[in-house]
Structure 1
Amino acid sequence: MNNRSRWVPPLAAGLLLGTALALRFLWPVPEATGTSKRKAPPVEVSKAPEPARVSPITGPAKPEPVKPEAPEQAAEGLRATVVPIGPGDVVPEPEVENPLPQENDPIEPEKPQTAAWRHEKMVRITELLGRDVERLEQERAAARTRGDEAEARRLEVQLTRHRARLGKLREETVALEEAARKEEQARVQ
């Protein structure tokens, strides 16, 4: 991809966005869709409350108590639903702008890969491959009983490869067993 083609999609997107914004703000606002042109009703302007008057005999006038707005009126412009906290509810903690970094668990040192360890792994791998060979033999027999010769040949090829690998793994297992035995004897002495 050459350098010019890297700039074309972002540039095109920017131009498209700029055009859309320019049209949004510069385009004339459509008139009301009514058939007759009516003037909007006059808006009532509320007067500011009169300042409290001070009487020389009684002192300042007590202000009227302010009535709290109902929750429906207070949240008129909002669409959120307020649900009271019930028993068993957990109140989430407020989000922190810059939380402290978390401590990572210490990295465990790598276990030594001794001959005994490698022998155990090789035994496990050999066991799993042996299971695969048994499964493939069953699938091949099922394919032959169904009369699906192409599938049976494919499974036969897989079986020969798996059996060859299984033979090599068994030889390696015997060699690792001997190495593990020698390693154990050296450690005891």
Structure 2
Amino acid sequence: MKNRIHPTTDVQTEDIGANTNVWQFCVVLKGARIGENCNICSHCLIENDVIVGNNVTVKSGVQLWDGVTIEDNVFIGPNVTFTNDLVPRSKSEDWKLTRTIVKKGATIGANATVIAGIEIGEYSFIGAGSLVSKSIPSFTIWYGNPAVHKGYITDKGVILGLDLVDKKSGAQYKLEKFKLTKK
């Protein structure tokens, strides 16, 4: 299957993997790299120094500014806001790019704001409308303003409380290095 690039987009990069869709009214600058099997929904902007992995969904209204890296299998909800400057000033000669990375399998809910310079861990889950102002560990759930640790989540999307218990099944999990496993 070929890429589907909507005719109303301005896609300047040639570095787009197979089976990727870029929908209406998007701008993708020349230096951007987008992986295979991605879905870039309408009204998105992707700057030059941006890497998007494979199997990534970027919902409508998202801007990926220079310095943002999105690893494989990430979901970015509608209107998620990323920043790339910790002290933004108009026409500043002291502007400094601050990088952000979203690790594989993470989910960022609609209208969340991600402050520059952090890492969002593997398979973590950020709730809609959250302000993420510090790095988020893998397999954790955060939401609020500012975002607060509210639980854990497995790589399969099983939601656990802070006690590592699945409230639906009662199954107990344990946190091992970089992984949640059922006891």
Both proteins in one fold, TM over 0.5: no
Q: Identify the structure with the greater helix proportion.
A: 1
Return the structure number with greater relative CO, CA threshold 8 A, min gap 6: 1
Give 1 or 2 for the bigger CA radius of gyration: 1
Shorter-normalised TM range: under 0.3
Q: TM-score, normalised by structure 2?
A: 0.16
Q: TM-score, normalised by structure 1?
A: 0.16
